[in-house]
C-alpha cells in the first residue's frame, strides 16, 4: 500500500465518523492564491521586536508568516512558548544565520502553467488537526513542498501592533515522478499529515498554508486555507 494512503487512512476515518456539526473544515478552494511570500523571523529573546509598531506588514495579496526563532535564553526567553526549531531549519534553507533580533525574507510567487496547489485543515481531534496538501501538474518535478500550521494573532492582542501569522508546525519534503499518483491527464501528489496544536489553544485560530518550489528554488505555487 502506498505510504500516502497509510498516512491518510486514520485521518480520513476520523473526519468521516465525526458528526457534521462537529466538523470545522478549512480549504483553499475558492481562495485567491497569494502573489508573494513574506516571512518575518523574530528572535524569541526579543520581545521589543514583537511589540515594535514599525513592524513591516505587506498587503493582503502576500502570504505572511511569523517565525519565532529559538534564542540564547532558551526556555526563559519571553517568546519561548512560540519558538519552533523549524524556524532554524527554514533559515538554513534560505542560507541565512539566525537573527540577533529579527529578519525578513520575501519572494514572489511566479506561477507555472498547469500547476494546481490545494491545502486544507480538518477538525481538532485530541489536540491534533489533519493537514492536507495536493498538487496537480503536467511536469514530473522535482517539486519541493512546504506545509505549515499557522496561528492567527489579531492586531492589538498578545502585545502585537500588527496582525501576526505564527508558524506552529512545519513540514517540508520533495515530490518526484517516483512518488506521484497517476491520473488520467495530469500527475498528482498528495500529503495528509497530523499536526499538533499548542496545548489549550483555540482551534479556530489555526489554518494551513503551503507553497511549492521548482528545482531551482523558485516559488511556483502557494495556497492558504480559510475555515468555514
Q: Residue 24 has what pLDDT?
A: 54
* 101 belongs to a structural domain: yes
Q: Residue 22 has what pLDDT?
A: 37
* 23 belongs to a structural domain: no
* 20 belongs to a structural domain: no
Which tens digits make up the pLDDT trace of 177-195? 888 886 657 899 999 999 9
* 99 belongs to a structural domain: yes
Q: Span 134-142, mean pLDDT?
A: 92
> Average pLDDT of the chain?
88
Closest to 105 measured CA to CA, from 217, 206, 208: 217
**CATH number of the CATH domain containing 95:** 2.60.40.10
* 57 belongs to a structural domain: yes
Instruction: Judge contact between 128 and 194, C-beta under 8 A.
Output: yes
Which tens digits make up the pLDDT trace of 152-175? 999 999 999 999 999 999 999 999
Q: For the chain, what is the domain count?
A: 1
Q: How far apart are CA 3 and CA 145, in angstroms?
A: 17
Please indicate, yes or no, whether the overall pTM of this predicted structure exceeds 0.85. Answer: yes
Instruction: Judge contact between 225 and 206, C-beta under 8 A.
Output: no
65, pLDDT greater than 70: yes
Range of the domain at 140: 3-13+28-227
b/e 68-105 (16+ beta carbons within 10 angstroms → b): bbbbeeeeebbbeebbbebbbebbeeeeeeebeebbee
* 21 belongs to a structural domain: no
HEC string for 122-134: CCCECCEEEEEEE
Q: Running DSSP on this structure, what letter comes out for residue 204?
A: G
Band of residue 1 on the pLDDT scale cut at 50, 70, 90: very low
Amino acid at each position: 500500500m502506498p505510504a500516502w494512503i497509510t498516512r491518510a487512512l486514520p485521518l480520513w476515518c476520523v473526519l468521516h465518523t465525526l458528526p457534521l456539526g462537529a466538523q470545522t473544515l478549512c480549504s483553499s478552494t475558492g481562495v485567491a492564491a497569494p502573489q508573494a511570500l513574506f516571512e518575518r523571523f523574530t528572535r524569541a529573546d526579543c520581545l521589543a521586536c514583537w511589540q515594535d509598531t514599525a513592524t513591516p506588514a505587506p498587503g493582503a495579496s502576500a502570504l505572511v508568516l511569523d517565525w519565532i526563532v529559538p534564542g540564547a535564553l532558551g526556555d526563559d526567553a519571553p517568546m519561548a512558548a512560540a519558538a519552533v526549531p523549524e524556524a532554524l531549519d527554514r533559515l538554513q534553507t534560505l542560507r541565512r544565520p539566525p537573527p540577533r533580533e529579527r529578519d525578513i525574507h520575501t519572494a514572489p510567487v511566479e506561477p507555472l502553467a498547469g500547476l494546481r496547489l490545494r491545502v486544507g485543515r480538518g477538525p481538532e481531534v485530541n489536540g491534533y488537526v489533519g493537514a492536507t496538501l495536493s498538487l496537480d501538474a503536467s511536469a514530473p518535478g522535482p517539486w519541493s513542498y512546504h506545509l505549515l500550521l499557522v496561528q492567527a494573532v489579531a492586531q492589538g492582542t498578545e502585545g502585537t501592533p500588527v496582525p501576526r501569522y505564527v508558524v506552529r508546525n512545519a513540514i517540508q519534503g520533495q515530490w518526484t515522478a517516483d512518488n506521484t499518483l497517476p491520473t488520467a491527464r495530469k500527475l498528482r501528489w498528495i500529503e495528509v499529515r497530523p499536526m499538533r496544536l499548542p496545548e489549550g489553544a483555540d482551534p479556530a485560530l489555526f489554518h494551513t498554508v503551503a507553497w511549492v518550489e521548482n528545482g531551482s528554488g523558485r516559488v511556483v505555487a502557494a495556497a492558504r486555507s480559510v475555515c468555514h
